Structure 1
């Protein structure tokens, strides 16, 4: 595994990337603080067994969201991480192509990203929230980032719903709450209060959950078929469910859910691909 320099990994290449990343960078810690300091003390006695268990679960979720996000950004999955040596065999060489932007002969399943300005091995797509391309070497971290983001957002949404609509129903069941949900920026500007801010965090978690679920649904056939966004319905590289999952999560895939620091080598170098069928 090769890491990108910090200045390249953490510096957004477009305004859209920067805004999406800042939304995650600010939203995750604010949501955790909201959950621990506002919601949990009203649902569980501070220091009790369930309070401690839920607090530890929250730490685990925040750790996996942030660490998988950073792993996506830091792990280099571009052609620059390899000293590319085109194969001598005509069968393999014929599958390589010239990239005019990189001025290099690049492997099959590698495509150029206009935002990152580099060819990416087994390029899946460019992710705004991670400010980088998702490809062969960092797809694992992207998948777990989505999974834990959805799981964490769902948990906070359920607890916040109890807090807002049951424990404090006398305050939040009013027309002005609908205004805060529909136009949060105006609501916080005209009537800034912690109560309105809690509603905004609640709304952001609903959106985070829905986006994560939709993205996981969209990427399900990609994981199942061993393909990428560009040809997501192809079976040219389909190794079966287990083989395809191993190609993304690595040889120790059953342990990778614990942490991005769990070492799990991929069974392929991401360079020389041969299709299993004639679809390509």
Structure 2
């Protein structure tokens, strides 16, 4: 596994999304531990500290998997490409005029990353990198822990705002702030408005990450990837499809991105997988 030398986001949109994740997630974590949780649990109690430990676990995996997505190089230039000698299998390969090389099946050129990506799924704006064969696992857990953390916090925050402090936030003025958050924050710079902004971003993050999971999960389960017309030719069954993304030790990968889990495929010779699935039909 090779690391990218230039892993900082290049596109302006990627820079904005990446900075939002880098800044917003730790601020939300501190907000939950110092403002919200003490309203529910005694700070010297067992539940409070267990919740804190759970939050630290979520924050670590979210940030570490995000960083792994950015660092792991999954481009075709990091490997030695040996096209098959068989003419029938060779026709699955294509010539990339930008990279000036024969690219393997399922790889596509990314204009932002300026290279062909092995088993390219999509370009992720939040990490500023393409998601492909080598870093797909980290993207899965990045989105998964983002959804768990954001939803978990949203439940606490909803009770905090609309029940425990309903006398402050349940009014028509709060509705205006929700519709025009930045405008109202500029007019009235207060902690209450800042807390409300965190809550709104939290709800958006929860909803967006759940949508991402719902969108990508069927592709992974069926052995496909985003924008792939004929994913059936790569469908090896549920277990092997998951191993293609999470690796051979997929039952442990949820614990930490630092746990090694070797992938069962090199990400290059997908023509062999096509032959295998065609024989099973």
Does the TM-score normalized on the shorter chain lie above 0.5?
A: yes
Gaps spanning 5+ residues in structure 1: where?
A: none
- Aligned ranges for residues 112-131 of structure 1 at < 5 Å? 112-131=109-128
- Aligned ranges for residues 30-49 of structure 1 at < 5 Å? 30-49=27-46
Q: Does 1:251 align with 2:252?
A: no
Secondary structure of 2:231's partner? coil
Provide the C-alpha distance between the structure 2 equivalents of 1:57 and 1:210, rounded to a whole number of angstroms.
21
Give the stretch that moved more between structures: 56-65 or 161-170: 161-170
- Aligned ranges for residues 126-137 of structure 1 at < 5 Å? 126-137=123-134
Provide the C-alpha distance between the structure 2 equivalents of 1:259 and 1:233, rounded to a whole number of angstroms.
33
Gaps spanning 5+ residues in structure 2: where?
A: none
**Residues 96-129 of structure 1: CA deviation (Å, up to 9, x unaligned):** 2110010111111111011111100000011111
Show the counterpart of 2:278. 277
Secondary structure of 1:163's partner? helix
Provide the C-alpha distance between the structure 2 equivalents of 1:232 and 1:140, rounded to a whole number of angstroms.
22
Secondary structure of 1:204's partner? helix
Question: In structure 1, which of residues 30, 50, 53 is the aligned counterpart of residue 50 of structure 2?
Answer: 53
- Aligned ranges for residues 163-178 of structure 1 at < 5 Å? 163-178=160-175
Secondary structure of 1:119's partner? strand
Aligned residue pairs, count: 275
Over aligned residues, Cα RMSD in angstroms?
A: 1.2
Provide the C-alpha distance between the structure 1 equivalents of 2:67 and 2:57, rounded to a whole number of angstroms.
15
Show the counterpart of 1:90. 87
Provide the C-alpha distance between the structure 2 equivalents of 1:22 and 1:211, rounded to a whole number of angstroms.
17
* Moved >3 Å (runs of 4+): none
Show the counterpart of 1:218. 215
Provide the C-alpha distance between the structure 2 equivalents of 1:208 and 1:233, rounded to a whole number of angstroms.
31
Superposition deviation, residue 233 in structure 1? 6.2
